[in-house]
Amino acid sequence: MKLYHNPASPFVRKVRVVAAECGIADQLQLEEVVLTPVNTPDQLASDNPLGKIPALQLDNGQCLYDSRVICEYLDAEFQGDLYPIEGWQRWQVLRLQAMADGLCYAAVLVRYEGFVRPIDKQWSQWIEAQLAKCRRAIAQLEQDCAQYSDQINIGTLSIAIALGYLDFRNPDEAWRDYAPSLASWYAGFSQRASLQQTLPA
């Protein structure tokens, strides 16, 4: 399977983490792409019309996207057991994943605003509004994290990836100052092999 990837992307990292949790990391052939929303490599655009990564080219010629679809596909195909099948726990876990992905989207938008958009078009209020989303999400996670701190599933893995991305792109965001329980959970959880093997670069 060929995975369009970039080592900085948190959404790609999620796919790699799930592959590692499923024990099939070595089945992913990594195809590195450099892209922005205004610069899409042709091959990626023909495999994923949205021009985004991750995209997973399967051996049957089909291409899967986006990260949530790919992760669920890998989990189903290779028995990752990262998605509770039924009951309220399933919705809690999927909501946690949505929270983590939303945190990543907001942080990626901050990155694009500062790095891709021309300086004369940058809008500080936009950046602040995105960072405010990140901070509200972290405050909520701080309140809730005791409920899931002993779980390993797509929700907790996604949260760890989102916090890792925030540390990577916004090291000045002192989120640990107002989220000490989350920080303590993250310090331990982020030692998992799947997360250590896929640190952003």
By the criterion CB under 6 A, which residues form the site for ligand GSF?
9-11, 35, 37, 51-54, 66-68, 108
Looking at beta carbons only, is 37 or 49 nearer to ligand GSF? 37
Output the smallest distance, CB 150 to ligand GSF, in A: 26
Separation between Cα atoms, residue 85 and residue 100, nearest integer Å:
20
Looking at beta carbons only, is 116 or 187 nearer to ligand GSF? 116
Looking at beta carbons only, is 110 or 142 nearer to ligand GSF? 110
**CB of 142 closer than 8 Å to CB of 182:** yes
**CB of 166 closer than 8 Å to CB of 173:** yes
Output the smallest distance, CB 187 to ligand GSF, in A: 24
Output the smallest distance, CB 181 to ligand GSF, in A: 27
Looking at beta carbons only, is 108 or 145 nearer to ligand GSF? 108
DSSP-assigned states of every residue in 65-117: -SHHHHHHHHHHHTT---S--SSHHHHHHHHHHHHHHHHHHHHHHHHHHHHTS
Helices (H), strands (E): how many in the chain? 9, 4
Output the smallest distance, CB 87 to ligand GSF, in A: 25
